[in-house]
Chain A
Amino acid sequence: MLSFSLDARRGAFHLQVECTLTTEWTVVFGPSGAGKSTLLRLLAGLDNPIHARITLDDRVLTDTASKLRISFGHRQTSLVSQQPTLFPHLNAAANVAYGLYKLDRPARERRVSEMLDLVGAAGLAARRPADLSGGQAERIALARALAPAPSLLLLDEPFSALDGVASDELLARLQNWLRENHVQAVMATHDVSDALATGAEVLFLREGRLVALGPAREILAAERTRLLGRLEPPTS
C-alpha cells in the first residue's frame, strides 16, 4: 500500500496531492502538464517538495516534517522515465547489472539474463544504447529498473516507442511478474487505451490536483466513450 501527501512547486506549477493506493497497479492519468512526471519524481525522491510524507507498506520513505528521507539505495524504488536514460558507455547487460552491485558475479549474470528474457531482449545483451532502437532501449530500461527487485516501480509513459501489440504484450508480462513478486506499480500515461487495457485503479490528475481515484472503467468512462466514438466509421 502506497500512501502519500505531496505539496511541491516547479516554477509556476503547483502540485498538491494526497491519497492512498491500495491496488498493486495504479495508472496516473491526465493531460500533458497535469503533473504526472512531477508526481513520479517526487515519489522516487528525486525532487525536493515543500511538504511530503510518503509511506510504502507502513515504511516511511519521506517525511519532511521530521526531515526524514530514506536514501536512494534503500528506498527500493525504481523509476523508468519517459526517455530511456541508458548509460551510453555501457552495453545493455551492464546497464541492467548497474543496480546489482551487491550481488556476486554469477548471481548478477543470472539476474541480468533473467531480466533480459522477461522484457524480450535476450539477444540485445552486448549492444550499446546507441545501437538500440527506441523500443529496444525502453525494454532495457525496464529490465534495469526491475533487476534490483524494487518494492515500488514507477513508470513514466515507459512504452511510448513500442507499437501497440508489443506494448500490450510487454505490459501483460510485466503485470504478471509484478504480481508474482509483490511489487506495487504506478504508471503515468495520457493514453486512455493504456489506462483501460491494464484494468487498473486510476488516479486522475489535472493541473496538479487529484480529480478522481477509482476503477479505470468508472473514472475513464467519458474518455472511453470519446475514444470509441473516434474509432467508429463516420455515418454518411
Chain B
Amino acid sequence: MDWQAFALSLRLAAVTTAILLAIAVPLAASIVLGRARWTAAIEALATLPMVLPPTVLGFFLLVLLGPRTAFGRGIAALFGHPLAFSFDGLVVGSVIYSLPFAVQPLVAGFSAVDRDLVDAARLLGAGPVRLVSSILVPLARRSILAAIVLSFLHTIGEFGVVLMLGGDIPGATRTLSIVLYDQVESFDYAAADHTALLLLGLSVLALALIYSKAQKRGAPGDA
C-alpha cells in the first residue's frame, strides 16, 4: 500500500474542500439571492466543470498555468514555482473540477429556505453577509454537509485532471487514483485490489461518519 499517496490524497481533498466551501457558499448565495440576469451566467460557469471531460479541463489548466501564458508566468512568480506538476497546481485544478459538486447542493439548499424568512431578515436590517451566515447557512445545514461530502469524495477519486495537471510525482502529485492506474498498468492486480478497496472504504466511511453525525445532532431538515 502506498501510504504516501494515501496521505497526499487526504491532504488534497481536505485543502480543496476547505477552499471550495469558502468559495461556494457566497457563490451559491449570490445565485439564489442575486438578480436573475447575472445568476444564470454565474450558475452556468459554476456548472461547466461538471460537463467538461476531466482531461480537457486538465489540459486547459496545464496550458493556462504553464510557462507559455502570461497568467501562468504571473502565478509562477507569485508562488515562486510553476503550478503545473505541483501540489498547489493540483489544489487549483481540484477546486475548479469539484466546484459544481459544492455549489449545486448549496444552491438547492439555499433555494429551499422559505423566501418569507429571507424577506423577514432583510426587513430587520440583515445585509448579505448576515443573511447568509445567520439564516441561509443554519437552515441549509444538510446541504452544506452534502457539499462537504461530495467535494471531499470527488477530489479523492479524481483522476483525469490530476494526471494531466500533476503527472505522477511521488510525494507531490501522486494520489491514490494515480497509484491504482499505475498498479493496473503493471498488472499488479493484488495491489490494485487493495488500493481500490481502500478508496471504496474511504468513501463509505466518510459518508457513514458524516451522516451518522448529522442524525445524532438531530439536525432539522432544510427549510
Contacts and interface: CB of A to CB of B under 8 A. Distances in A.
B51 interface: no
Contacts of A88: 117, 139, 220, 223
B81 interface: no
Interface string A75-87: 1011101010101
Given A85-B114, A88-B139, A89-B139, A98 B121 contact: yes
Interface in B111-159: 114, 116-117, 119-127, 130, 134-135, 138-139
A98 B130 CA distance: 10
Contact of B135 (A79, A87, A101): A87
Contacts of A78: 123-124
Q: Which of B119, B121, B130, B135 has the most chain A CB within a 10 Å cutoff?
A: B119
Nearest to A83: B116
B159 to A, nearest CB: 40
Interface residues of B, number: 19
A85 B120 contact: yes
A119 interface: no
Nearest to A41: B119
A136 B82 CA distance: 62
A144 interface: yes
A73 B123 CA distance: 7
A131 to B, nearest CB: 13
Contact of A73 (B114, B127, B138, B139): B127
Interface in A136-154: 144, 148
Instruction: Tell me whether chain B's interface is mostly helix, strand or loop, or mixed.
Output: helix
A97 to B, nearest CB: 10
Contacts of B120: 79, 81, 85, 87
Contacts of B134: 98
Q: Which of A75, A89, A99, A101 has the most chain B CB within a 10 Å cutoff?
A: A89
B135 A85 contact: no
Interface in A43-74: 44, 46, 72-73
A144 B124 CA distance: 9
Nearest to A128: B220
B138 A89 contact: yes
Interface of A: 44, 46, 72-73, 75, 77-79, 81, 83, 85, 87-89, 98-99, 101-102, 144, 148
